Structure 1
């Protein structure tokens, strides 16, 4: 099976359609599939539901899809850095399904493992529990959360071999593996494609069986909040 494609647009060819559910990897702006997001924007596909830890910022990441009004609904745990997101949500132009961060990650991982739902204490007694089944285990209440089965996963890795075995870099590992697992098709962008057999098997974070298409590219790696201190005089 051919997995390596020449561009993000080519890697997404034939996969996009209006109204689809997309699981996007990344943590804040760290490890986001920025090239695939740009290609989705240029495609013009609309009415998207996106499951992601974050909603990007106003002019980068998933914020680009919000800016172009291609997103109908966000399923996220943190959306605090995006003024356009806030404007659309408060104006009733965008649906929002808030998820506790660990719940969102587990909903993706569960789907990738073929698990349709699970019970958790997180969110019991809060607005998160509204409309969800509540069940008692050993005298404690738990709510049923459903797995997120996405039409498409878009993720970013540091290195991958030609079969899709990959390694994520530090914080980027948080949401990319579960996001990759839960899609019917997973498209991954990487900084470097290495020869098969060059990755230590014990260091592989996600096996290539989850990855259907690969594209290598250059990444901006924008810093969300840069904090520095003045250098001391010599």
Structure 2
């Protein structure tokens, strides 16, 4: 009877030991599996996203978005945030460490927040940090430099016109007396020779007055 009881206790103890061994093996396998998964995920570096020439782009200009992964990555995809969710914009196939996404014309539709990720060994990596692209409106840009250039050109034109006006005024100015040219004076004899019809009439009148008709006290009139 005692031996039967001892055998029963031994059997129960063996079952407990076996159960504990099975549980320990299961925990060990689970731990190994989690470690393997962590190691595999550790081989997927977080992608790096950047923009060239920069994240602020003038209207209708182009920009390149770069997504850096690993040389073993064979698929890259670019996503944009729209309506609170990220949508795939473009995908690039091929084993490469870096993928380039070109946006030819920046506008309000292409501006926004971007992120990228890559695929390696049939698994996707984590998303990169968010890159925000901002488009600047040319109509609202600061035209200070252009305005200064225009004002400078207008000032130069005014200076040239003022110089022309001053030059013309000096050319038409009356010269001083000492600057006058020496014109020869007409002699009195030449002046006398230059007589007209009126001088001839005066000479005829004087000739008639030399006669008696013009003497004092003579009231005779000139013959008609």
Please report the TM-score for the alignment, with normalisation by the length of structure 2: 0.19
Which structure dedicates a bigger proportion of its chain to helix? 2
Please report the TM-score for the alignment, with normalisation by the length of structure 1: 0.18
Rg larger in 1 or in 2? 2
